[in-house]
Chain A
Amino acid sequence: MQRAVHDRGGWPTDAAIDRSEHELADWELRTDALLGALAKHDLMNVDQLRRGIESMPPEDYERASYYERWLFSIEARLAEAGVIAPGELDARLAR
Protein backbone atom coordinates (compact mmCIF):
# COMPACT_ATOMS: atom_id res chain seq x y z
CA MET A 1 0.00 0.00 0.00
CA GLN A 2 1.37 3.36 -1.07
CA ARG A 3 2.14 5.60 1.84
CA ALA A 4 2.61 9.34 2.20
CA VAL A 5 5.51 10.80 4.17
CA HIS A 6 3.42 11.68 7.24
CA ASP A 7 1.98 8.15 7.51
CA ARG A 8 4.64 6.79 9.84
CA GLY A 9 3.10 3.83 11.64
CA GLY A 10 5.47 0.90 11.16
CA TRP A 11 7.81 2.92 8.93
CA PRO A 12 11.08 0.97 8.97
CA THR A 13 13.57 2.64 11.27
CA ASP A 14 16.40 1.69 13.58
CA ALA A 15 16.45 5.14 15.13
CA ALA A 16 16.36 5.31 18.90
CA ILE A 17 13.86 7.67 20.40
CA ASP A 18 15.56 10.94 21.33
CA ARG A 19 14.05 11.76 24.69
CA SER A 20 15.55 15.22 25.06
CA GLU A 21 12.91 17.90 25.48
CA HIS A 22 12.77 21.62 24.94
CA GLU A 23 10.44 24.24 26.22
CA LEU A 24 8.42 25.72 23.40
CA ALA A 25 10.01 28.90 22.08
CA ASP A 26 7.97 32.06 21.75
CA TRP A 27 7.75 31.64 17.99
CA GLU A 28 6.45 28.09 18.39
CA LEU A 29 3.75 29.15 20.84
CA ARG A 30 2.89 31.95 18.45
CA THR A 31 2.59 29.55 15.49
CA ASP A 32 0.33 27.28 17.52
CA ALA A 33 -1.82 30.20 18.60
CA LEU A 34 -1.96 31.55 15.07
CA LEU A 35 -3.82 28.45 13.93
CA GLY A 36 -6.33 28.97 16.72
CA ALA A 37 -6.75 32.62 15.75
CA LEU A 38 -7.37 31.68 12.12
CA ALA A 39 -9.81 28.97 13.20
CA LYS A 40 -11.67 31.47 15.34
CA HIS A 41 -12.19 33.57 12.20
CA ASP A 42 -13.21 30.55 10.13
CA LEU A 43 -10.16 30.79 7.90
CA MET A 44 -8.49 27.50 8.71
CA ASN A 45 -9.34 24.30 10.54
CA VAL A 46 -7.12 21.54 11.91
CA ASP A 47 -7.92 19.25 8.98
CA GLN A 48 -6.64 21.90 6.59
CA LEU A 49 -3.56 22.25 8.79
CA ARG A 50 -2.88 18.54 8.50
CA ARG A 51 -3.60 18.46 4.78
CA GLY A 52 -1.14 21.29 4.24
CA ILE A 53 1.53 19.58 6.29
CA GLU A 54 1.00 16.38 4.33
CA SER A 55 1.53 18.28 1.10
CA MET A 56 5.12 19.19 1.97
CA PRO A 57 7.79 17.67 -0.26
CA PRO A 58 8.89 14.53 1.63
CA GLU A 59 12.48 15.67 2.22
CA ASP A 60 11.24 18.99 3.59
CA TYR A 61 8.75 17.24 5.86
CA GLU A 62 11.43 15.02 7.35
CA ARG A 63 13.91 17.83 7.78
CA ALA A 64 11.53 20.42 9.22
CA SER A 65 10.83 20.84 12.90
CA TYR A 66 7.29 20.36 14.16
CA TYR A 67 6.23 24.00 14.11
CA GLU A 68 8.09 24.68 10.89
CA ARG A 69 5.63 22.22 9.35
CA TRP A 70 2.72 24.11 10.89
CA LEU A 71 3.99 27.40 9.48
CA PHE A 72 4.40 25.91 6.02
CA SER A 73 0.80 24.76 6.14
CA ILE A 74 -0.54 28.03 7.50
CA GLU A 75 1.20 30.01 4.76
CA ALA A 76 -0.09 27.63 2.09
CA ARG A 77 -3.62 27.96 3.39
CA LEU A 78 -3.47 31.76 3.53
CA ALA A 79 -2.22 31.84 -0.05
CA GLU A 80 -4.98 29.44 -1.07
CA ALA A 81 -7.54 31.68 0.60
CA GLY A 82 -6.13 34.76 -1.10
CA VAL A 83 -5.45 36.40 2.25
CA ILE A 84 -1.74 36.77 1.54
CA ALA A 85 -0.42 37.44 -1.95
CA PRO A 86 2.50 35.44 -3.35
CA GLY A 87 5.74 36.98 -2.14
CA GLU A 88 3.97 39.39 0.21
CA LEU A 89 5.42 37.92 3.38
CA ASP A 90 8.91 37.66 1.88
CA ALA A 91 8.72 41.29 0.82
CA ARG A 92 7.77 42.28 4.36
CA LEU A 93 10.67 40.31 5.83
CA ALA A 94 13.04 42.01 3.45
CA ARG A 95 11.97 45.46 4.68
Chain B
Amino acid sequence: MSDHDHDHDHAPIADGDEPPAAARVRALEALLVEKGVISHEDVREGIDWLVSRTPADGARVVARAWLDPDYRERLLADGRAAARELGIDPGPAPVLVAVENTERVHHMVVCTLCSCYPRGLLGPPPDWYKSLPYRSRAVSDPRGVLAEFGTTLDDDVELRVLDSTADIRYLVIPRRPEGTDDLTEDELAALVTRDAMIGVVAPAAPAAVGA
Protein backbone atom coordinates (compact mmCIF):
# COMPACT_ATOMS: atom_id res chain seq x y z
CA MET B 1 0.00 0.00 0.00
CA SER B 2 1.47 3.35 -0.97
CA ASP B 3 -0.59 5.43 1.43
CA HIS B 4 -0.23 4.62 5.11
CA ASP B 5 -3.84 5.36 5.92
CA HIS B 6 -5.37 4.58 9.27
CA ASP B 7 -6.42 1.15 8.10
CA HIS B 8 -2.92 -0.07 8.77
CA ASP B 9 -1.92 1.58 12.00
CA HIS B 10 -2.73 -1.55 14.04
CA ALA B 11 -1.54 -4.67 12.33
CA PRO B 12 1.90 -5.63 11.14
CA ILE B 13 1.94 -7.09 7.67
CA ALA B 14 3.10 -10.42 9.06
CA ASP B 15 3.13 -11.52 12.69
CA GLY B 16 4.25 -14.92 13.88
CA ASP B 17 1.70 -14.88 16.69
CA GLU B 18 -1.25 -14.43 14.41
CA PRO B 19 -3.35 -17.34 13.19
CA PRO B 20 -3.65 -17.91 9.44
CA ALA B 21 -7.05 -16.26 9.60
CA ALA B 22 -5.39 -12.88 10.13
CA ALA B 23 -3.63 -12.76 6.77
CA ARG B 24 -6.67 -14.38 5.22
CA VAL B 25 -9.12 -11.68 6.25
CA ARG B 26 -6.74 -8.90 5.24
CA ALA B 27 -6.35 -10.48 1.81
CA LEU B 28 -10.09 -11.02 1.58
CA GLU B 29 -10.83 -7.39 2.37
CA ALA B 30 -8.32 -6.24 -0.25
CA LEU B 31 -9.82 -8.60 -2.82
CA LEU B 32 -13.36 -7.39 -2.14
CA VAL B 33 -12.31 -3.75 -2.34
CA GLU B 34 -10.55 -4.39 -5.64
CA LYS B 35 -13.68 -6.03 -6.99
CA GLY B 36 -15.71 -2.99 -5.94
CA VAL B 37 -17.89 -5.09 -3.65
CA ILE B 38 -17.10 -3.05 -0.52
CA SER B 39 -14.90 -0.10 0.33
CA HIS B 40 -12.14 0.19 2.91
CA GLU B 41 -14.25 2.93 4.47
CA ASP B 42 -17.08 0.45 5.04
CA VAL B 43 -14.74 -1.69 7.09
CA ARG B 44 -13.19 1.30 8.85
CA GLU B 45 -16.63 2.50 9.96
CA GLY B 46 -17.42 -0.90 11.38
CA ILE B 47 -14.17 -1.08 13.31
CA ASP B 48 -14.64 2.46 14.62
CA TRP B 49 -18.12 1.64 15.89
CA LEU B 50 -17.01 -1.56 17.56
CA VAL B 51 -14.04 -0.01 19.39
CA SER B 52 -16.18 2.94 20.48
CA ARG B 53 -18.58 0.70 22.41
CA THR B 54 -17.79 0.23 26.11
CA PRO B 55 -19.62 -0.92 29.24
CA ALA B 56 -19.43 2.68 30.49
CA ASP B 57 -22.48 3.37 28.33
CA GLY B 58 -24.51 0.60 29.91
CA ALA B 59 -23.35 1.79 33.33
CA ARG B 60 -24.73 5.28 32.62
CA VAL B 61 -28.09 3.80 31.75
CA VAL B 62 -28.16 1.81 34.98
CA ALA B 63 -27.04 4.72 37.16
CA ARG B 64 -29.70 6.96 35.65
CA ALA B 65 -32.34 4.30 36.30
CA TRP B 66 -31.22 4.01 39.92
CA LEU B 67 -31.57 7.77 40.44
CA ASP B 68 -34.61 8.59 38.33
CA PRO B 69 -37.76 6.42 38.73
CA ASP B 70 -39.37 7.90 35.63
CA TYR B 71 -36.30 7.07 33.54
CA ARG B 72 -36.35 3.59 35.03
CA GLU B 73 -39.93 3.13 33.82
CA ARG B 74 -39.01 4.35 30.35
CA LEU B 75 -36.00 2.02 30.31
CA LEU B 76 -38.10 -0.98 31.25
CA ALA B 77 -40.65 -0.07 28.58
CA ASP B 78 -38.21 0.59 25.72
CA GLY B 79 -34.51 0.02 26.19
CA ARG B 80 -33.41 1.42 22.84
CA ALA B 81 -35.25 4.70 23.33
CA ALA B 82 -33.90 5.03 26.86
CA ALA B 83 -30.34 4.50 25.65
CA ARG B 84 -30.77 7.08 22.90
CA GLU B 85 -32.09 9.55 25.48
CA LEU B 86 -28.60 9.52 27.00
CA GLY B 87 -26.95 9.92 23.61
CA ILE B 88 -25.96 6.25 23.39
CA ASP B 89 -26.19 4.41 20.06
CA PRO B 90 -27.79 1.09 20.98
CA GLY B 91 -26.59 -0.61 17.80
CA PRO B 92 -28.38 -2.53 15.08
CA ALA B 93 -30.28 -5.11 17.19
CA PRO B 94 -33.93 -4.11 16.89
CA VAL B 95 -35.00 -4.46 20.51
CA LEU B 96 -33.23 -3.93 23.83
CA VAL B 97 -35.01 -5.20 26.93
CA ALA B 98 -33.75 -4.20 30.35
CA VAL B 99 -34.52 -6.67 33.12
CA GLU B 100 -34.38 -5.54 36.70
CA ASN B 101 -32.87 -7.42 39.61
CA THR B 102 -34.81 -7.09 42.87
CA GLU B 103 -34.63 -8.43 46.40
CA ARG B 104 -36.37 -11.57 45.18
CA VAL B 105 -35.21 -11.96 41.57
CA HIS B 106 -31.78 -12.17 39.96
CA HIS B 107 -31.25 -12.28 36.20
CA MET B 108 -28.40 -13.74 34.16
CA VAL B 109 -28.02 -13.61 30.36
CA VAL B 110 -26.54 -16.07 27.86
CA CYS B 111 -26.76 -16.93 24.17
CA THR B 112 -26.50 -20.71 24.01
CA LEU B 113 -26.64 -20.81 20.19
CA CYS B 114 -23.95 -18.24 19.41
CA SER B 115 -23.03 -14.98 21.19
CA CYS B 116 -25.92 -12.51 21.05
CA TYR B 117 -25.08 -9.66 23.39
CA PRO B 118 -26.05 -5.96 23.82
CA ARG B 119 -22.83 -4.69 22.20
CA GLY B 120 -24.20 -1.20 21.77
CA LEU B 121 -24.24 -0.76 25.53
CA LEU B 122 -21.52 -3.12 26.69
CA GLY B 123 -19.00 -3.30 23.86
CA PRO B 124 -17.82 -6.66 22.52
CA PRO B 125 -18.59 -9.65 24.75
CA PRO B 126 -15.81 -11.23 26.82
CA ASP B 127 -14.40 -14.54 25.58
CA TRP B 128 -15.99 -16.46 28.42
CA TYR B 129 -19.48 -15.32 27.40
CA LYS B 130 -18.90 -16.82 23.95
CA SER B 131 -17.24 -19.96 25.33
CA LEU B 132 -18.72 -23.43 25.01
CA PRO B 133 -18.75 -24.11 28.77
CA TYR B 134 -20.66 -20.89 29.55
CA ARG B 135 -23.12 -21.46 26.75
CA SER B 136 -23.69 -24.96 28.02
CA ARG B 137 -23.86 -24.45 31.76
CA ALA B 138 -25.48 -21.02 32.07
CA VAL B 139 -28.83 -22.65 31.33
CA SER B 140 -28.44 -26.02 33.03
CA ASP B 141 -26.23 -25.12 36.02
CA PRO B 142 -26.54 -21.35 36.46
CA ARG B 143 -25.90 -21.38 40.21
CA GLY B 144 -22.73 -23.35 39.58
CA VAL B 145 -21.68 -20.74 37.03
CA LEU B 146 -22.43 -17.94 39.48
CA ALA B 147 -20.32 -19.71 42.09
CA GLU B 148 -17.39 -19.70 39.64
CA PHE B 149 -17.79 -15.94 39.45
CA GLY B 150 -17.85 -15.74 43.24
CA THR B 151 -21.56 -14.97 43.37
CA THR B 152 -23.99 -16.58 45.80
CA LEU B 153 -27.61 -15.60 45.93
CA ASP B 154 -29.69 -15.45 49.09
CA ASP B 155 -31.85 -18.51 49.70
CA ASP B 156 -35.13 -16.90 48.76
CA VAL B 157 -33.91 -15.38 45.49
CA GLU B 158 -35.31 -16.74 42.22
CA LEU B 159 -32.67 -17.04 39.52
CA ARG B 160 -33.88 -16.22 36.02
CA VAL B 161 -31.64 -17.13 33.12
CA LEU B 162 -32.41 -15.51 29.78
CA ASP B 163 -31.27 -17.30 26.63
CA SER B 164 -31.06 -14.72 23.83
CA THR B 165 -32.22 -16.77 20.88
CA ALA B 166 -33.76 -14.08 18.70
CA ASP B 167 -33.49 -10.35 17.92
CA ILE B 168 -33.98 -9.18 21.50
CA ARG B 169 -30.90 -8.13 23.45
CA TYR B 170 -31.10 -8.25 27.23
CA LEU B 171 -29.43 -5.92 29.72
CA VAL B 172 -29.50 -6.65 33.44
CA ILE B 173 -30.19 -3.72 35.77
CA PRO B 174 -28.37 -4.85 38.90
CA ARG B 175 -29.54 -3.85 42.36
CA ARG B 176 -28.22 -0.58 43.67
CA PRO B 177 -25.70 -1.37 46.43
CA GLU B 178 -26.29 -0.33 50.03
CA GLY B 179 -24.63 2.83 51.31
CA THR B 180 -24.80 4.70 48.00
CA ASP B 181 -27.39 7.34 48.86
CA ASP B 182 -24.86 10.17 48.71
CA LEU B 183 -23.18 9.21 45.47
CA THR B 184 -23.43 11.23 42.28
CA GLU B 185 -24.61 9.67 39.04
CA ASP B 186 -21.02 9.33 37.82
CA GLU B 187 -19.97 7.70 41.08
CA LEU B 188 -22.87 5.28 40.82
CA ALA B 189 -22.01 4.46 37.23
CA ALA B 190 -18.47 3.62 38.31
CA LEU B 191 -19.87 0.79 40.45
CA VAL B 192 -21.71 -0.84 37.55
CA THR B 193 -19.44 -3.37 35.87
CA ARG B 194 -19.96 -5.17 32.59
CA ASP B 195 -20.29 -8.47 34.40
CA ALA B 196 -23.02 -7.03 36.65
CA MET B 197 -24.98 -6.08 33.52
CA ILE B 198 -24.62 -9.63 32.20
CA GLY B 199 -25.79 -10.83 35.59
CA VAL B 200 -22.91 -12.99 36.79
CA VAL B 201 -21.85 -10.66 39.62
CA ALA B 202 -23.31 -7.92 41.79
CA PRO B 203 -22.09 -4.33 41.33
CA ALA B 204 -19.02 -3.18 43.24
CA ALA B 205 -19.54 -1.89 46.78
CA PRO B 206 -18.92 1.85 47.19
CA ALA B 207 -15.93 1.39 49.50
CA ALA B 208 -14.10 -0.54 46.78
CA VAL B 209 -14.10 2.35 44.33
CA GLY B 210 -11.08 4.63 44.34
CA ALA B 211 -9.21 2.33 46.74
Are A and B in direct contact (Cβ within 8 Å)?
Answer: yes
Interface set of A (CB-CB < 8 Å, partner B): 6-13, 15-22, 24-27, 29-38, 40-41, 43, 50, 53, 62, 65-68, 71, 74-75, 78, 83-84, 88-89, 92-93
**Which residues from A are CB-within-8-Å of B26?**
27, 30
B95 → A minimal CB distance (Å): 14
Distance in angstroms from A43 CB to nearest chain B CB is 7
Report yes or no: B31 in contact with A88, Cβ–Cβ below 8 A: yes
Judge whether A32 and B50 touch: CB under 8 Å. Answer: yes
Min C-beta distance of B32 to chain A, whole Å: 7
CB distance from A83 to the nearest CB of B (A): 6
| Residue in B closest to A31 when the chains form the complex, CB atoms | B25
- A33 and B18 contact, Cβ closer than 8 Å, known pairs A38-B38, A89-B28: no
Give the distance to chain B from A25, nearest Cβ to Cβ, in Å: 7
Cα–Cα, bound, A84→B130 (Å) = 29
**Closest-CB distance, A48 to chain B (whole angstroms):** 13
Residue of A nearest to B112 (CB): A9
Given A32-B46, A88-B31, check contact A27 B11 (CB 8 Å).
yes
> Known pairs A68-B21, A93-B24. 15 more at Cβ < 8 A?
A9-B135, A10-B112, A12-B136, A15-B133, A17-B131, A33-B43, A33-B50, A34-B28, A37-B32, A37-B46, A38-B37, A41-B38, A71-B24, A74-B28, A92-B27
**Secondary structure dominating the interface of A:** helix
Is B134's CB under 8 angstroms from A17's CB? yes
Q: Is the interface of B mostly helix, strand, loop or mixed?
A: helix
Known: A18-B127, A43-B37, A50-B114. A36 touches B42 (CB 8 A): yes
CA distance A49 to B55 in the complex (A): 25
Beyond A17-B131, A25-B18, whether A30 also contacts B47 by CB under 8 A is yes
**B68 beta carbon closer than 8 Å to chain A:** no
CA distance A18 to B130 in the complex (A): 11
Given the interface pairs A26-B11, A30-B25, the reply to whether A19 lies near B128 with Cβ below 8 Å is yes
Our pick among A24, A31, A62, A83 for the contact of B132 (Cβ within 8 Å) is A62
A21 to B127, CA, bound (A): 6
Q: B102 in the interface, Cβ–Cβ < 8 Å?
A: no
In residues 1-29 of chain B, which contact A (Cβ within 8 Å)? 10-11, 18-19, 21-29
Binds A, one of B69-77, B137-145, B179-187: B137-145
